[in-house]
A = this chain, B = another copy of it.
Amino acid sequence: MITIHGYSPSGNCHKLRMLLGHLGRVEGRDFRWIETDSAHGATRTPDYLAKNPNGKVPMIETADGRVMVESNAILAWLADGTPYFGGDAWQRAQTLSWMFFEQYSHEPYIAVARFICGWTPLDSPRRADLPRLRERGNEALAVMEKHLASNEWFSSTGYGIADIALFAYTHCAQDGGFHLAAYPAVSHWLDRVRAQRGFVPMAPVAAENQALIRASRGG
């Protein structure tokens, strides 16, 4: 049994639930989820930092006590030998390329804008960053839109872990003030992802965070 330390509203954590759902793994039977509220310090305790000095979620532990961190590396391990990370060396590296794009050019803007809107007070000084985050996040969405003009998926050999990695924060980008209607190919791709067998939707965001997201739309 794998143990996942994860925060349910985090897209990075949700990636693992998505892939495990596609693989037919059942929560409680094949893996357990320890809710770890990274927005309120649960990843900065001495016990947690002893396992993951970088203090982030998700983190997994195997039955024999081995630890792995970094959502996209965990996806690569869980999907190894499955169609979700298929192909030859070139194709697998192309799948990884989109996963590095996600962590460098997408998540730091789209996920961070969502976090600021939903998890910081309305008078937070971090809100001054939102225009720049939205500019860079829209650049990432435009790169995705362009790719989808001639490709069905981001993973090389069909739906797979690069799609899961990019779905995680793209599908809730509107929480951070992005307008997905401006990206029709991305919107259709999101629908194709949701139609995949075993797809698990993200848990609803708590009421207090939803209220902040709604209030941010006025700004």
Q: Chain A interface (Cβ within 8 Å of chain B)?
A: 53-54, 56, 66, 68-74, 76-77, 80-81, 89-90, 92-94, 96-97, 99-101, 103-105, 107-108, 142-143, 146-147
Knowing A103-B103, A143-B54, the reply to whether A96 touches B73 (Cβ < 8 A) is yes
A-B contact pairs, 11 of them (CB 8 A): A68-B94, A69-B101, A70-B104, A71-B100, A72-B100, A73-B93, A76-B93, A77-B89, A77-B90, A99-B100, A103-B104
Whole-angstrom CA separation of A90 from B101 in the bound complex: 22
User: A53-B142, A53-B147, A54-B143 given. 14 additional CB < 8 A pairs?
Assistant: A53-B146, A69-B101, A70-B96, A70-B104, A71-B100, A73-B94, A73-B97, A73-B100, A76-B92, A77-B89, A99-B100, A100-B100, A103-B103, A108-B108
* Number of copies of this protein chain within its complex: 2
Which residues of B lie under 8 Å from residue A104 when comparing CB positions? 70, 103-104, 107-108
**Interface on chain A toward B: helix, strand, loop, or mixed SS?**
helix
Which residues of B lie under 8 Å from residue A54 when comparing CB positions? 101, 105, 143
Q: Which residue of B lies closest to A106 (CB)?
A: B54
